[in-house]
Amino acid sequence: MKKLFILLLFGTITWQQVQAQTEVPSGPLDLATCVSIAIENNLTLKRSELNQLVTEANLLESQGRRLPSLTTGASSGFRWGRSINPVTNLFETRRIGNVNLFGNTGAPIFQGMRINNSIGQAKSDLKSGEYTLEATRNDITLNVINLFIDVVFNREQVKIAENQLNTTKEQLGRTQQLVDAGSLPYSDLLDLQSQNATNQLNVINAKNGLRLAKLALAQALQIPFTENFDVIEPVYEVSKEALAAGTPAEIFEVSVALMPQIKAAEANVKSAEYGVKIAKGGFLPTLDAGVSAFSNYVDQAFVRGTTEIIPFKTQVDNNFSQSGTLNFSIPLFTRFSNKSNLQRARVQQQLAEVSVSEAKNRLRQDIETAYNSALSSELSYQASLVRVKSLEETFRIAQQRFNLGAINSVDFQVAQNNLFNAQADLLNAKYTYIFRIKVLDFYLGNPINLN
């Protein structure tokens, strides 16, 4: 019954945790909320946090090796036939029942500094785990920002596509009237009907792109996707001074001292250095001390000259003994195990040092990529602004001329499509630029937001 209760309780707690994790927030979400939900629900992060608890247990175990051990216990049994009575020390042929009481304690005096180095290694591993957790949270944050911006970008794409469709519909109505009046040829109407169908498809594709972007964000948050899932669009203006923070080399110099992945790699090097010291300790002698106490009782111990059993307490007091030991051990030949351990530890240290170089190179490359992408996007954004402004005027004139019959529907469609493509390019450049700037802010240690 007790086991059944425990199982039901465990099942209830687990179900509540699953419900809390999969609960869909009501209403549109801002960026900070999205990041918070993603970090809360990310299973990779949860697994890393659990592994960190194991590392903490390893540290506790290493620290405990400094302390003396203490063991106490008792045993009881019976013997039949010819055996030595442990109290009289004589051979007897009878059933003898006995109770043994013992206690042992031991303490390490010198272990080749392996205990201290094991503690140092466990602390370095713990620091590495903390930095790794922080790096994982940063990766989750950057991924959510990218997906969040993608949702906002696709929402703007839908607006552009819908505006183009509305413009075509209005023009289609005017053209229908002009064709009916005989002012325009029927082919112009057919061209606009074809363009209207194309624009409707563009709207469908844009909405599908928005839906897929929302789905990707919801999956990153690890919450069930519904049609009501949406985000709050931030108010963000592109700043011309956004890239004034410094060159890629300057950003890297700041970032390399801040990024947790670099600190984690450096902590792993420190851990590997302790590993080498631990391996070297295997060549040193060790010294341990131990103390033990023992007593016993038998049910066939009689008072001399009588049939009276000696009382339990009296036997325990009389049979009480103590011993102390010092164990000194010198490793003369360990079949090359110590030498192999040292070689492996040194290789592990070199691998950890290589990992630091890899982490720094990866960080530098990421910064250079983000900077150059931001620079390219800024130039594209500025050029697209001019292009869109010009094409808006071109389209306005083309629309007037088409209404007057000065140009045909093909020329009108070309002007409209040029404007649509320019607006899409502007959006792409804008949001790529925003994300890359935020990445550079992140590398500089600045808070990440889109406001």
Q: What is the pLDDT of residue 22?
A: 46
pLDDT at residue number 245: 62
Question: What percentage of the chain has pLDDT greater than the value 90?
Answer: 53
Q: Are 378 and 242 in contact (CB under 8 A)?
A: yes
Question: Lowest mean pLDDT: which of 2-11, 105-114, 337-346?
Answer: 2-11
pTM: 0.81
More confident site: 358 or 247: 358
Q: Look up residue 202 and give its two tokens.
A: 């563009």
Q: According to the model, what pLDDT value does residue 243 have?
A: 62
Q: Report whether pLDDT(7) > 70.
A: no
CA 25, 30, 33, 39 torsion-angle sign: positive
- Name the region of 222 (left: φ>0; alpha: ψ -120 to 50; beta: rest): left
Residues 365 and 439: beta-carbon distance below 8 Å: no
Average of per-residue pLDDT across 259-269: 96
| pLDDT confidence of residue 2 | 37
pLDDT at 136 over 60: yes
In this prediction, residue 450 carries a pLDDT of: 58
How high is the pLDDT of residue 354? Answer: 98
pLDDT grade for 300, boundaries at 50, 70 and 90: confident
Give the domains, in start order, of the chain with CATH numbers.
27-65+112-285+336-443 (1.20.1600.10), 71-110+286-329 (no CATH)
Residue 110 CA to residue 90 CA, distance in Å, equals: 43
pLDDT of residue 12: 41
As a whole number, the mean pLDDT across the chain is 87
The reported pLDDT for the residue numbered 164 is: 85
